[in-house]
Amino acid sequence: MHFTYFMPAKILFGRDCVAENASLLRPFGKKALVVTGKSSAKNGALSDVLSALEANGQKACVFDKVVANPTLACVQAGAEEARRTGADFVVGIGGGSALDAAKAVAALAYEPRADKDVFSGGWTGALPVAAVPTTAGTGSEVTQYAVLTDDFRRTKTSISSPAFFPGIAFLDGKYTAGLDKKITADTAADALSHAVEGMFTVKSTPVSDLAALESIRILFRIFPKIEAGSLADGDREELLYASMLAGTVIAQSGTTAVHAMGYPLTYYKGTPHGEANGVLLGEMLALCEERLPERTERILRAAGTKDVAAFKGALSRLLRGHARYEKSDLERWAEEASENPKLAGVTYRPDKEDILRMYLGSDILAEGANPER
Amino acid sequence: MHFTYFMPAKILFGRDCVAENASLLRPFGKKALVVTGKSSAKNGALSDVLSALEANGQKACVFDKVVANPTLACVQAGAEEARRTGADFVVGIGGGSALDAAKAVAALAYEPRADKDVFSGGWTGALPVAAVPTTAGTGSEVTQYAVLTDDFRRTKTSISSPAFFPGIAFLDGKYTAGLDKKITADTAADALSHAVEGMFTVKSTPVSDLAALESIRILFRIFPKIEAGSLADGDREELLYASMLAGTVIAQSGTTAVHAMGYPLTYYKGTPHGEANGVLLGEMLALCEERLPERTERILRAAGTKDVAAFKGALSRLLRGHARYEKSDLERWAEEASENPKLAGVTYRPDKEDILRMYLGSDILAEGANPER
């Protein structure tokens, strides 16, 4: 046994956790910049956070211009706003895009950098961040990563630092109650990909494997309810919990091949991040089964699926109606994904051919684009 | 679902983890006070730590006067030494006594207090602490507690603060390799009591339950090897891992009735802490079975024991030859333990009669002291 484990975020989980634990934000400073998207404001989270800050006598400005797959322009604008308003800390509210943007804003407000230097590492600190997820998928509330659109490398690239861990994560299932079926399914698939990918890296740990398997167990139990559109409040909570667990997994392991392969689908075609991972995950597991059968078996057992085909089938049903792509695109993306640094440390060691095989084996080819031709 | 989870210590686990990660101690400061006991120096941990500090160019003084169940006099002397030598941080090396003493020294060096004020709470900070456990039981390396002998209340009492969490926990199984069978068994029983007790408090969380059940699973798998004296290095590592997991459990939940009941055995009779908990744990589970059968069942399943009697039997074998007590003492201790604040928040709600029943039901009466008479 040889591992490192670190996840310093304080987790407050449960209904009304923001209001109940507002005072925990007091040590963060006098002025907050609340970073969110336009629609994240509609589920009650923003008003809860603003009330909490007001109760603490803390000033707040709202930067609600976060876009999906946040760009450098977006987070630079947020950082500029943080500096202009003299923010001592950042509260991120939203899905992965908003939370990741919040972390990047906190980093760039603390340490201004030109665009070309954002992805070069070596961050020395960041403003303190509190995170309020409003989707159940990202896990960003318990990780040290901020994933940004990277136009230099034409993909999404994460920046990371131990300083980016949110100090507090407030998880209240009610903020996810209004999510539609598509977003719920996509984000759940994202959480699943975190749990599964996290078990196939050299940085996986016994502690994170425990969290990963529990997350997989919960997600597969709830997938049919997502498909049926019959999620109860308790199911929403469980999804949020499973997503958080999977976040603690990637906080140790990082994400790997599936994320590297999924990013082009998002970067070039705008496919939602969770869908992109979810449609590729089954083929990854098929490859893992050949090379690391024992680990794969543990995952299948946790999922309650008898084999990889059943695992893939469950994801297909969850993501029914997903996007499809031209073979020529997949071939090009296989080149690109195989260059992604995320592939270092993947225990099943996929090469370029493996990546193309996973793309083509996934049921994502456009009609008529038969891989046999 | 409604819970708080927080465990900010960075865990470095594995052979030679101190040497491999020495540089992580650099940000702790220029001068260390190493807090340990006389015998903790003999397993290699002290020399590894001193080498690591030297490699970092950090000065070190050694305070090796920690006694079992550390007294206020002991930790006050350590704090005085920390101040005298201008220590910026503390490295604790040893079993629970040494690690808890290290935290108390770090607290009192940061914020000097008279003996009478040590147990009154409200700690504002502490010097940073790194922890190197040399037994597999305490879990102190991942908790915010320091348990001290409390002559005011004639028991052991913990002081606690989020500031007491070690910043780094170095867990290397080789430091536990030389432990004799008795200490190994006692400390393993302590770890088990953390895992089991932690599942019966209002502060238990789904995350800590996951860790608790895994810890129980591992401990019961290894108990027979402890009894047989046939522990391999890998088993020692697993014990250390299980103990750490159980530490993360009580970091959320605290300890409860078994610890409250065990402390008098240690305070008045010098019974090792782990033995004291271990001999009482079975009767606690019997009481839990009446009141919270579902939770009890999960524990029994993780332990692989078919019922509470089998669970008790396994502990009896592990702790064979344990101390015995007079009935009159147990009656007095039941009074004392029932006043312990640890009983607040115990989900199976033991009262004084329950506590006496647990004492008398445990197989710890002196020969001839028949509870029926």
Q: Which of B13, B17, B214 to mutate to test the interface with A (most CBs of A within 10 A)?
A: B13
Closest-CA residue to B325 (of B280, B287, B295, B286): B280
Q: Are B141 and B133 in contact (CB under 8 A)?
A: yes
Q: B2 and A15: CB-CB below 8 Å? A: yes
Q: B10 and A4: CB-CB below 8 Å? A: yes
Closest-CA residue to B190 (of B84, B95, B98): B95
The three state secondary structure string of chain A is CCEEECCCCEEEECCCHHHHCHHHHHHHCCEEEEEEECHHHHHCHHHHHHHHHHHCCCEEEEEEEECCCCCHHHHHHHHHHHHHHCCCEEEEEECHHHHHHHHHHHHHHHCCCCHHHHHHCCCCCCCCEEEEECCCCCCHHHCCEEEEEECCCCEEEEEECHHHCCCEEEECHHHHCCCCHHHHHHHHHHHHHHHHHHCCECCCCHHHHHHHHHHHHHHHHHHHHHHHCCCCHHHHHHHHHHHHHHHHHHHHHCCCHHHHHHHHHHHHHCCCHHHHHHHHHHHHHHHHHHHCHHHHHHHHHHHCCCCHHHHHHHHHHHCCCCCCECHHHHHHHHHHHHCCHHHCCECCCCCHHHHHHHHHHCCCECCCCCCCC
In DSSP terms, A62 is beta-bridged to A34
Cβ-Cβ contacts under 8 Å, B2 against chain A: 13-15, 17
Q: A11 and B3: CB-CB below 8 Å? A: yes
Q: What is the mean pLDDT of residues A145-172?
A: 95
Q: List, for residues B76-104, the tens digit of each pLDDT value.
A: 999 999 999 999 999 999 999 999 999 99
Cβ-Cβ contacts under 8 Å, B1 against chain A: 13-14, 173, 234, 237-238, 241
The Cα A320–Cα A228 span in angstroms is: 12
Chain B: residue nearest A208 by CA?
A: B211
Q: What is the mean pLDDT of residues A239-248?
A: 98
Instruction: Give, in degrees to the nearest 5, the angle at Cα A129 between B1 and A81.
Output: 135
Q: Amino acid identity of A128?
A: P
At CB < 8 Å, which residues of chain B contact A? 1-8, 10-15, 17, 21, 173, 205-207, 210-211, 214, 234, 237-238, 241, 245
Q: B14 and A5: CB-CB below 8 Å? A: no
- Which are the contacts of A248, defined by CB distance < 8 A and separation ≥ 6? A7, A139, A142, A208, A211
Q: Which of A6, A15, A171 to mutate to test the interface with B (most CBs of B within 10 A)?
A: A6
Q: Are B175 and B132 in contact (CB under 8 A)?
A: yes
Q: A3 and B11: CB-CB below 8 Å? A: yes
Chain B: residue nearest A166 by CA?
A: B8
Chain A: residue nearest B244 by CA?
A: A207
| Shortest CA gap A357–chain B (Å) | 37
E strand map for chain B: 3-5, 10-13, 31-37, 59-66, 89-94, 129-133, 145-150, 155-160, 168-171
- Which are the contacts of A23, defined by CB distance < 8 A and separation ≥ 6? A56
In the structure, what pLDDT confidence band is assigned to residue B39 with cuts at 50, 70 and 90? confident
Q: A15 and B3: CB-CB below 8 Å? A: no
ipTM: 0.94
Q: What is the mean pLDDT of residues A329-350?
A: 93
Considering only CB atoms, B13 lies closest to which of A3, A14, A173, namely A3
Q: Are A134 and A169 in contact (CB under 8 A)?
A: no
Q: Cα dihedral sign for A60, A65, A67, A71? A: negative
For residue B158, report the phi and psi dihedrals to the nearest 5 degrees. -100, 145
Tokens 């052979």 locate to: B15
Chain A: residue nearest B4 by CA?
A: A12
Q: What's the length of chain B?
A: 373
Q: B13 and A6: CB-CB below 8 Å? A: no
- Which are the contacts of A370, defined by CB distance < 8 A and separation ≥ 6? none
In the structure, what pLDDT confidence band is assigned to residue B327 with cuts at 50, 70 and 90? very high
Pair of tokens at residue A146: 């901020």
Q: Is the pTM of this model over 0.80?
A: yes
The Cα B126–Cα B136 span in angstroms is: 25
The Cα A65–Cα B251 span in angstroms is: 39
pLDDT of residue A40: 66
Q: B13 and A7: CB-CB below 8 Å? A: no
For the cut 80, the answer to whether the pLDDT of residue B371 exceeds it is no
Q: A11 and B2: CB-CB below 8 Å? A: no
The three state secondary structure string of A193-262 is HHHHHHCCECCCCHHHHHHHHHHHHHHHHHHHHHHHCCCCHHHHHHHHHHHHHHHHHHHHHCCCHHHHHH
Tokens 């940073």 locate to: B128
Q: B5 and A14: CB-CB below 8 Å? A: no
In the structure, what pLDDT confidence band is assigned to residue B42 with cuts at 50, 70 and 90? confident
Tokens 């075609």 locate to: A269
Chain A: residue nearest B24 by CA?
A: A4
Distance between first and last Cα of chain B: 47
Considering only CB atoms, A13 lies closest to which of B1, B173, B241, namely B1
Q: List, for residues B187-225, the tens digit of each pLDDT value.
A: 999 999 999 999 999 999 999 999 999 999 999 999 999
Q: What is the mean pLDDT of residues A117-145?
A: 97
Q: Are A95 and A54 in contact (CB under 8 A)?
A: no
Residue A359 CB neighbour total at 10 angstroms: 25
Distances (CA, A) of A19 to A14, A102, A170, B116, B294: 11, 21, 10, 37, 32
Q: How distant is the alpha carbon of residue A309 from its chain centre? A: 25
Chain B: residue nearest A15 by CA?
A: B2
Q: B4 and A11: CB-CB below 8 Å? A: yes
Cβ-Cβ contacts under 8 Å, A2 against chain B: 13-15, 17
**Proportion of chain A above pLDDT 70, given as a percent:** 98
Q: Which of B11, B144, B243 to mutate to test the interface with A (most CBs of A within 10 A)?
A: B11
Q: Are B70 and B149 in contact (CB under 8 A)?
A: yes
Considering only CB atoms, B15 lies closest to which of A2, A10, A21, namely A2
For residue A182, report the phi and psi dihedrals to the nearest 5 degrees. -65, -50
Instruction: Give, in degrees to the nearest 5, the angle at Cα A5 between A95 and B219.
Output: 120
Q: A207 and B11: CB-CB below 8 Å? A: yes
Q: What is the bridge-based pairing of β-strands A89-94 and A59-66?
A: unpaired
Q: What is the mean pLDDT of residues A180-198?
A: 97
Q: Amino acid identity of B198?
A: G
Q: Are A106 and A125 in contact (CB under 8 A)?
A: no
Q: A207 and B4: CB-CB below 8 Å? A: no
pLDDT of residue B373: 39
Closest-CA residue to A274 (of A182, A144, A344, A179): A182
Q: A1 and B8: CB-CB below 8 Å? A: no
Q: List, for residues B240-272, the tens digit of each pLDDT value.
A: 999 999 999 999 999 999 999 999 999 999 999
Q: B13 and A4: CB-CB below 8 Å? A: yes
Residue B42 CB neighbour total at 10 angstroms: 13
Q: Amino acid identity of B61?
A: C
Chain B: residue nearest A234 by CA?
A: B1
Q: How distant is the alpha carbon of residue B42 from its chain centre? A: 21
For the cut 90, the answer to whether the pLDDT of residue B40 exceeds it is no
Burial of A124 (0-12, 13-18, 19+ CB in 10 A): exposed
For the cut 60, the answer to whether the pLDDT of residue B66 exceeds it is yes
At CB < 8 Å, which residues of chain A contact B? 1-8, 10-15, 17, 21, 173, 205-207, 210-211, 214, 234, 237-238, 241, 245
In the structure, what pLDDT confidence band is assigned to residue A41 with cuts at 50, 70 and 90? low
| Shortest CA gap A304–chain B (Å) | 18
Q: Tell me, what DSSP letter sits at residue B121?
A: -
The Cα A333–Cα A261 span in angstroms is: 7
In the structure, what pLDDT confidence band is assigned to residue A373 with cuts at 50, 70 and 90? very low
Q: Rounded to the nearest 10 degrees, how much is the dihedral formed by the CA atoms of B41, B10, A88, A44? A: -140
The Cα A255–Cα A251 span in angstroms is: 9
Cβ-Cβ contacts under 8 Å, B11 against chain A: 3-6, 207
Considering only CB atoms, B6 lies closest to which of A11, A205, A238, namely A11
Q: What is the mean pLDDT of residues A77-97?
A: 97
Q: What is the mean pLDDT of residues B287-296?
A: 96
Closest-CA residue to A173 (of A221, A236, A215): A236
The Cα A206–Cα A211 span in angstroms is: 9
